[in-house]
Chains A and B, each alone.
Chain A
């Protein structure tokens, strides 16, 4: 197990290497000369030369790549062209809001998704099952930004239960954080929860039909124990897998949702950076998102061996 964990972790390194190459070449493959775009129409030739130099576009790409990676490995993500601040500092300021939002959305999606999936699986075609079918259709047919506007309209503009703007970070206390984060987290999490609920339902129906469930009933075990101790643990692998596969969806959705609810997070930083062709920021955000994704997958892979004793590497 430890050997496998080690090998699997080492395997993540070349993956991140490929990501780094792609991220690096963004600068070269993006349409237009980045220096010209950044400098704007009124720039003089010296301005452009200066920007070219600060982007190291005047260096050999291979040399530039090597020194870029070297700096990354030392935790140096460069300096923002637009604001002149260290990229890591910019990201650090805003990561808390985004991570808080994503965790809340995930918590919400996992709780609602698994609960609804189990309730629906208990009785096929029953009330909960029909509710899930409706919820799923709604969740999948509405993109997060539409969901965000609907939620904001209902709970903020109409009912005045929650604010639309004025996001408070977790450091401001759980109360203010929840009040301001719940609508964006719901907008992000509903599709995700519907996804988890559908997978949970299918996996639970499959597990509940297995012989070992009949054995458990014949032992006198009650329904709740059968659902949670016997069936859910057997259904865990597809559920954990879908949770992992939802993380990139969350990362994508958060950009949009942060914009609507004016959350000062990575999403806004990224949008600004793209508008200003602030390459160091763009590269850092893409790299870090990929790292989160790779790490999530790593954790999920490793969790398989804990969830199913038959899986051994």
Chain B
């Protein structure tokens, strides 16, 4: 059974010009122990998707669809029940380690907080466990570091602290929203290794958001390619990277040439496809990528494209793809 199943999720931000649909009928699942990457250009709704799963978007936001996790629909839980899921069953790592930690609390107390909250540990036990977590994520001299404040740590160290916080309660699912984008290139690989290693040890599923196809190649079992809040292609990492079918996915891959050449993991940002992501207020009857697509046909504009299985573990949401026989 899937660890988490996102079923036709839509996220709507009410606004003056009607609802802004940042996520539009997105479906995917993560199996236990599996790492699923969500990739797409900036503004395609990756962060909003995971924030919706965690219900971090504020009271005005509306959701449609369901997020089934451990037998319950997270979107239907009460706020109090949802709090027991956050930080406990689902851990989250954010992009900016510089601002995501509280500047006036020691890193030890920030790690210990969720342990006291979810595990009911005493002050002393939670501190002992926080110390354990710090050495687990590779912080040198943890006995000293535990009483330090975030500003005393480098960006890479802070991201390690974030990981320690997210993993402190042994979550079943780890969500990492561009965990290395803000870090030095030399540190990025270490942090990715750490996430992979710890998730494997816990047997946790991982949802990894990234701009970086090098990261996908290295870490992901499966890939969801999103565009304008919709899924356009899904498949195993090998399928997507080696045999991309959707014109958008191909564009993304062509925009990161070094990946194909092998060797370089440091892929560029995916902003090189001509044209722009449509505004959220635009109503798109057909394929969202149609205005930028070199292969578009008149029918693409009129009707939403179907999900077409093109290989085992590979489907593409495009009218122009030929299905497997």
Contact of B100 among A214, A230, A307 (CB under 8 A): A214
Contacts of B88 in A (CB 8 A): 220
Contact with A along B76-111 (1 / 0, CB 8 A): 000000011111100010101001111111000000
Q: Which residues of A contact B86 (CB under 8 A)?
A: 217-220
Interchain CB contact under 8 A, B117 and A308: no
| CB pair A215 B101 closer than 8 Å | yes
Give residues 204-220 of A contacting B (CB, 8 Å): 210-212, 214-220
Determine if B151 is an interface residue (Cβ-Cβ < 8 Å): yes
- Indicate if A175 sits at the interface (CB-CB under 8 A): no
Q: CB within 8 Å of B: which of A280-313?
A: 307-310
Summarize A's interface: helix, strand, loop or mixed: helix
- Across-interface contacts of A127 in B (CB, < 8 A): none
- A-chain residues with CB within 8 Å of residue B85 when the two chains form the complex: 220
Write out the residue numbers on chain A whose beta carbons fall within 8 Å of the beta carbon of B118: 220
- Chain B nearest CB from A310 CB (Å) reads 5
User: Which of B92, B117, B162 is the one whose CB lies under 8 Å from A221?
Assistant: B117
Query: What residues on B are CB-neighbors of A310 within 8 Å?
Result: 103, 149, 151
Q: Which residues of B contact A211 (CB under 8 A)?
A: 94, 96, 99-100
CB neighbours (8 Å) of B103 from chain A are 212, 234, 308-310
A contact residues around B102 at 8 Å (CB): 212, 215-216, 230, 234
Task: Report how far A222 CA is from B105 CA in the complex, Å.
Answer: 17
Given the contacts A218-B54, A220-B87, A308 and B94 also touching, CB distance less than 8 Å: no
Sorting the interface of chain A by its residue count into under 10, 10 to 19, 20 to 34 or 35 or more gives 20 to 34
Q: Which of B54, B101, B117 contacts A212 (CB 8 A)?
A: B101
Please give the number of chain B residues whose Cβ is less than 8 angstroms from any Cβ of chain A in the complex. Answer: 26
A219 B101 Cβ-Cβ under 8 A:
no
Q: Tell me if A233 is interfacial: C-beta within 8 Å of chain B.
A: yes
Bound Cα distance from A300 to B100, whole angstroms:
28
The reply to whether B94 and A234 contact each other, CB–CB distance below 8 Å, is no
Q: Is B170 part of the contact surface with A, judged by Cβ < 8 Å?
A: no
Q: How many angstroms between the C-alpha atoms of A218 and B176 in the bound complex?
A: 12
CA–CA, A307 and B149, complex, Å: 12
* Given A214-B56, A214-B94, A219 and B165 contact (CB-CB distance below 8 Å): yes
Nearest chain B CB to A182 CB, angstrom units? 35
List residues of chain B with CB within 8 A of the CB of A212.
99-103
- Report which residue of A212, A214, A310 has the largest number of chain B beta carbons within 10 angstroms of its beta carbon: A212
Complex contact A309–B149 (CB within 8 A): yes
Q: Could you jot down 16 A-B contacts, CB within 8 Å?
A: A210-B99, A211-B96, A212-B103, A214-B100, A215-B165, A216-B102, A216-B113, A218-B94, A220-B118, A221-B87, A230-B105, A233-B105, A308-B103, A308-B104, A309-B103, A309-B151
Q: Can you add 19 more A-B contacts, CB < 8 Å, to A214-B56, A216-B102?
A: A210-B99, A211-B94, A212-B99, A212-B100, A214-B94, A215-B92, A217-B56, A218-B56, A220-B83, A220-B88, A220-B118, A221-B83, A221-B113, A221-B114, A229-B105, A234-B104, A309-B104, A310-B103, A310-B151
A-B pairs, top 3 by smallest CB distance, nearest first, are A219-B87, A220-B87, A220-B86
